Amino acid sequence: MYYRMEVSDHIRVPPRFFAFSREEAVLKAVKQKYDGMIDPQLGVVIDVATVKNIGEGIIIPGDGASYYDTTFELLVFQPELQEVLKGKIKDIADFGAFITLGPIDGMIHISQTMDDFVSFAKDKTLAGRDSKRSLRIGDACRARVIAVSFKDVTNPKIGLTMRQPGLGRLDWLDKEEETPAEPKEEKKSKEK
């Protein structure tokens, strides 16, 4: 899920930014520190939206930079368990598929790609034996988040599934909607 998040931090403005106005220098320093940051509490920082408040600056002897208590808004992406996301297949391996979810990639294990026996082909496709469905690089899909790990902050892991109704390659879902549901037989109760 995407969020706008308000954050307060002590921002170090290096001397090379002193040619700019205080607001521009602080904004550049915040962007330098936060753009692209991956943090377990924040998620994936996409952009610095605005700088809301800049406190009085201080200079620490021997450093040369100025420091400001600053409040600013970040645009972040935080994947949440059970969230349904759209993405595109980025790569396919013998163990599953990698899907781009915007600012971050997730992985769908081969057993979670479809409700069928799935095989890997050398042309980097995954094919279902009975359903005759296939996944290729570039396919648009809908998947559910089943695992999120920020254990290695430089490479967070997002586990996904497409085995539930309403998930999978988007054209599969269009076909599901076109197929009318079979009418259920009504059970008649015996009258006494």
* Extended beta strands in the chain, E state: 2-13, 38-39, 43-54, 58-59, 66-77, 84-93, 96-100, 105-109, 118-121, 125-128, 134-135, 140-149, 157-161, 168-169
Query: Is the full-model pTM beyond 0.85?
Result: no
Confidence of residue 177 (pLDDT cuts 50, 70, 90): low
Condensed to tens digits (0 to 9), the pLDDT of residues 93-152 reads 999 999 999 888 999 999 999 888 998 988 899 988 898 888 999 999 999 999 999 888
Beta bridge partners of 103: none
Domains defined along the chain, listed by start? 2-77 (3.30.1490.120), 84-178 (2.40.50.140)
Q: Which residues contact 2 (CB under 8 A, 6 or more apart)?
A: 46, 75, 76, 77
